[in-house]
Amino acid sequence: MNKLKLRQLLEQFFIEDIGERDVSSSIFNGDQIGRLALIAKADGVFCGEEVIRTGFSLLVGELEIEMKVQDGERVEKGQSLAVISGTVADLLQGERVILNLVQRMSGIATKTKEAVSLLNSDHTKICDTRKTTPGLRMLEKYAVRCGGGVNHRIGLYDVVMLKDNHIAFAGSITKAMEAARRNVGHMVKVEVEVETKAQMREAIEAKADVIMFDNRTPEEIKAWLEEVPENIVTEASGGITLTDLASYRETGVDYISLGFLTHSVSALDISAKVTLE
């Protein structure tokens, strides 16, 4: 995770929440020291250590942080995750922003771990999509990695992905591939989305780096893969849920991308308890 970008994000989030000042925490003087304990209120996978460290360091002068768990570690309901010591007013004004982020990241890590476990494959990997919360993509994709998944493209800038609309506007997969190769360097990979066997064959002929099978059944993917050269990476996407994830285990596809890992995940319930010293 890029620590400079994380710091910048947290500064923006704190400015949004604190504004001119935290009027609630102003009832405390600047010398009162307290301890804030983060406690898991549900079983899951923890993610967000650097958010805790960087976040509180931006607000609290004299700061002590004792992490009880590490990113990617399974936690149980009632387990202590971290204890932060510092001035009470500063702890309280940073609590909600930090807790919101850690809960969301832990929820994503937890859901990803569940997907990886259900798939239970030595070959096929679970990956995310660009269906992330604006402003939180770096954190959410990091959480996917903490849950045992891998990242798909980070944004529009690192991989060419020719979807149905790109292909329709270009006129064909071949024309879209030719235009992509002319406009990007040799270091940029090109992925093509296909819905039919004819499209797959055209993508192979056009020398796509990655072929994505869009909304295809496990049976279709397994059969079609017999024609795909080993040097082409394959991906399954579209409509795949936790319920039917295991049915893709024997297809031989390299990656399964799941948008729900980030776009509709539930936060892991975590509470913050403060005590005076």
Answer yes or no: 235 catalytic.
no
d(CA 275, CA 28): 13
Give, in order, the Cα–Cα distances in Å from 183 to each of 59, 97, 166, 179: 45, 41, 14, 6
The active-site residue, picked from 214, 220, 222, 249, is 214
Answer yes or no: 163 catalytic.
yes
Q: Encode burial over 198-225: b for 16+ CB neighbours within 10 A, e otherwise.
A: ebbebbbebebebbbbbebebeebeebb
d(CA 168, CA 230): 27
The active-site residue, picked from 77, 96, 197, 273, is 96
Question: DSSP 3-state assignment of 138?
Answer: helix
SS3 content of the chain, % helix, strand, coil (to 5): 40, 20, 40
The active-site residue, picked from 68, 125, 130, 131, is 131
The active-site residue, picked from 5, 163, 175, 207, is 163
Q: How many CA atoms lie within 13 A of 170 on its CB side?
A: 16
Answer yes or no: 249 catalytic.
no
Question: DSSP 3-state assignment of 244?
Answer: coil
Answer yes or no: 193 catalytic.
yes
The active-site residue, picked from 49, 193, 235, 254, is 193
Measure the CA angle with vertex 196, ends 193 and 197; round to 5°. 110
Answer yes or no: 207 catalytic.
no
Structure-token match 């998944």, residue found: 149
| Beta strand 233-237 pairing with 210-214 | parallel
d(CA 17, CA 24): 12
Q: What positions carry a catalytic annotation?
A: 96, 131, 163, 193, 214
